[in-house]
Amino acid sequence: MPKRVRTAVFPVAGLGTRFLPATKAMPKEMLTVVDRPLIQYAVDEAREAGIEHFVFVTGRNKGVIEDHFDRQFELETTLENRGKTAALAELRKELPSAGRTSFTRQQEPLGLGHAVWCARDIVGDNPFALLLPDMVFRANPGVLRQMMDAYEQHGGNIIGVEECDPSEVSSYGIIERGEGPDTGFPINGMVEKPKVGEAPSNLFISGRYILQPEIFSLLSEQEKGAGGEIQITDSMKVLMEQQPFTGVKYDGKVFDCGSKLGFLTANVIFALDRDDIRDGFVKELRKLDLGDHL
């Protein structure tokens, strides 16, 4: 039986330059899809999968994330006095209990691999989940829950993957798939942004991982790669020579909310999924004279 995964790491130190000026003073992870911040979707997904400790790797001007996962007594008192019990219950339900969150700083923008390495002392000698908050999933059960099921069966390292159009492989990290069911198959290799026609598959790495703690020592020795940053993919390739990696082609759909197109699409889809606003939203959409826009 593999060692239980209790901790999740959330890299939230990025500058969010693709959303300027909106992210000039507000973390991109606090941008909302409908009425929930991106980081909340990732934390909810982790909680559903059984995660008990939430580790946020932050940077400057990210204090609002810490505040978001803390109690706000004035707000709670106001809601209580005004009889807004449903809103109050929702706030309290989403709040991790005391001692379940940790925050550490990535003091320099040295890439995803470096951000993960910054969590090493908190995670310790334990397997952990890694969730990139930009990637928001429409899946039931959640993607990390599906990956946990594979982890309980296979152990080792788990990567969530999804199909892309073969013409788009040069935009992603692509895995080489071995034989096995979608719920858990060997990963025999991975290539970062391969040329069209040279990719080993059209399965891309979509921002959800379960990793063994040996990745930290590899990251500590990892030289800077593409973009002058420490790339976690480079260390995973080395770890792959020592430990098994299993892919999960999950049941669901990812929206890359680090891009404007993905963010806007997610807002439309998640709004249409909401029983409380779907009918009104559809009504408003039908009123629009989109004309040459479509």
Span 24-39, pLDDT tens digits? 888 999 999 999 999 9
CA distance 228 to 247: 28
Which residues lie across from 138 on neighbouring strands?
253
Q: What average pLDDT does the segment 86-106 reach? A: 80
Question: Which pLDDT score is estimated for 229?
Answer: 78
79-83, 171-175, 196-200, 276-280: range with lowest mean pLDDT: 79-83
The residue ranges of every structural domain in the chain are 7-293
51-65, 89-103, 270-284: range with lowest mean pLDDT: 89-103
pLDDT at 288 over 90: no
Is the pLDDT at 294 greater than 70? The verdict is: no
Q: Report cis status (omega within 30 of 0) of the bond before 141.
A: yes
pLDDT band at 59 (very low <50, low <70, confident <90, very high): confident
* 38 exposure class (CB count in 10 Å sphere: 0-12, 13-18, 19+): buried
CB distance 148 to 210 below 8 Å? yes
* pLDDT at residue 216 in the model: 95
CATH 3.40.50.1820 for the 7-293 domain, yes or no: no
With vertex at residue 135, the alpha carbon angle to CA 132 and CA 139, rounded to the nearest 5 degrees, is 115
pLDDT tens digits, residue range 154-211?
A: 999 999 999 999 999 988 889 999 999 999 999 999 988 889 888 999 999 999 999 9
Q: Which long-range contacts (CB under 8 A, 24 or more apart) does 114-121 make?
A: 114/219, 114/229, 114/230, 115/11, 115/13, 115/57, 116/9, 116/11, 116/57, 116/215, 116/216, 116/219, 116/232, 117/216, 117/219, 117/220, 117/230, 118/57, 119/9, 119/55, 119/57, 120/216, 120/219, 120/220
Look up tokens 């935009």; give the residue.
Answer: 171
